Amino acid sequence: DDMHYLVFERPLHMLSTLLESTSDASIMSFATRKRIVFNLFRSVAVCHEHNIVHRFISPSNSARTSGYALSASEVHEHMSGSALHTTAPEILLGDKVYTKRSDVWSLGVVGLHILLHGAPLIVGKDAPKQLEYLYRICGSPRDDVWPDAMHLPQFVRPKHNYHTRLRKVILERMPAFPDAAIELFENLLALDPKRRWPVRRALTAPWFADQLLDENGGTMDFTMIPSTVETIGASSAPKQDKSAKKRKQRHDAPPTRPHRSRRPSRERPSS
């Protein structure tokens, strides 16, 4: 009775693979990427309105809004296998309560990943390195920035006092990145969870104004692109076909006579 199951149709694409396979701007324009980000935000907003915390928002988990845990209250949500590079700093510092604001951080990371079409901005090999790189871009957790950070179980005061340079890093990746979009992501990637915008607030940001006016527009026919799910599932197919071909060749080949080694004759040589 305590088990819940979610059943979805088989998706045509995984977003992470789709982004990697559509480097051509004519196939995946910035406007299309913006629409994808808007729809992703809107889906998570519906989850949050029903007190559902996703906990694993990533491009590889965005074919369908799935993978979230059902809960009557966000207080009982804890970190459970979320991707390191999308995990909120409070969770990396040992906070056991995974809230909607932790989801907001992940949305900010994934949104930039989609729009900048490259590797995530912050990628560390483990939690300490992830935090170090995170501080270099989003700033150190000072008392005036995130006063509650020092009370978290795994908090260690950074060796350096970094100031936020998120805007600079984004513009280095994409000089034409809209200023209104930078303002949005600066509020999503605030170190202090209390200062992060809720998803509904993010959806009303000036940068999304055109998306709100055009609820049914800006879509893309993804059926024109070969299914990335099939590509992944069929990766081992050529090996199987090759093995089957070899077996068929062995069965079709004409039988060969066994090799007989020449033994010395036992007959005495004639005199």
Indicate if the pLDDT at residue 85 is higher than 90.
Answer: no
Amino acid letter for position 81: G
Residue 79 neighbours by CB under 8 Å, 6+ apart? 55, 87, 91, 96, 98
Token duo for residue 52 = 């559902």
Q: For the segment 164-189, what is each residue's pLDDT rounded down to a tens digit?
A: 999 999 999 999 999 999 999 999 99
Is 33 inside a domain boundary? yes
Is 104 inside a domain boundary? yes
Is 252 inside a domain boundary? no
Report the number of distinct structural domains present in the chain.
1
Q: What is the mean pLDDT of the chain?
A: 75
What CATH number does residue 150 fall under?
A: 1.10.510.10
pLDDT at 174: 93
User: Residue 51's domain spans which residues?
Assistant: 15-224
Is 1 inside a domain boundary? no
pTM of the predicted protein model: 0.70
Is 67 inside a domain boundary? yes
Is 260 inside a domain boundary? no
Is 254 inside a domain boundary? no
Is 68 inside a domain boundary? yes
Token duo for residue 230 = 């099939």
Backbone angles phi, psi at 233, to 5 degrees: -70, -25
